[in-house]
Amino acid sequence: MTVMAALVIATGVAATVIDIRRRRVPNVLTMGVAATGLALALAGVGAVTLGGALGGLALGLALLLPGHMLGATGAGDVKLLAAFGALLGPGDVFQAFLRAAILGGVMAVGIAVWRGRLRTTLYGTAMLVTTRSREAAALVEHPAANNRFAYAPAIAIGAAMVALGW
């Protein structure tokens, strides 16, 4: 296992545990990993150049930022994918994003079924996607809707899959 893969897995485990327990991914973790990714690239350790690490960080940020602006993900999730981008580079962070999106969708459906809210969740999501209105976002985000769940596990698993070559 490479240094980069070990860092991705260790970061993913830490982010997952913290997000499940506290529903947030701390800046000290995401910024520390992003800085480490940039430092490793600058030192020439691993397969990602400094330009690749910067590009991966920017792409990771850009991929989840729209979801955050719609209220679908937390800021910590955005920063986590960006930090993974600094380790993985732009091509691999995009692949991690795709895997995380699929895993996150499966998790969302499973959690909605478990909570007995599948129909309500699907309706709210459809309203959010089709209207993009503040009212739809407020409906989905309302605490009584019980729609929130930790998304860091999906991001972590997606990034680990890519880091391990899966």
pLDDT digits (tens, 9 = 90+) for 55-73: 999 999 999 999 888 777 8
The H-or-E segment that residue 150 falls in is none
- Domain for residue 14, yes or no? yes
- Domain for residue 43, yes or no? yes
Q: Is the distance from CB of 26 to CB of 14 less than 8 angstroms?
A: no
Q: Is the distance from CB of 90 to CB of 59 less than 8 angstroms?
A: yes
Instruction: Name which of 25, 28, 127 is nearest 75 in CA terms.
Output: 25
Question: How many structural domains is the chain composed of?
Answer: 1
pLDDT above 90 (res 18)? yes
Pick from 32-46, 110-124, 140-154 the range whose average pLDDT is largest.
32-46
Compare 115 and 146 and report the one with higher pLDDT.
115
- Domain for residue 159, yes or no? yes
What pLDDT is stored for residue 123 in this prediction? 78
Give the structural domain span for 62: 3-102+150-163
- Domain for residue 135, yes or no? no
- Domain for residue 48, yes or no? yes
What pLDDT is stored for residue 146 in this prediction? 60
In the chain, the percentage of residues whose pLDDT exceeds 70 is 89
Instruction: Name which of 26, 144, 111 is nearest 74 in CA terms.
Output: 26
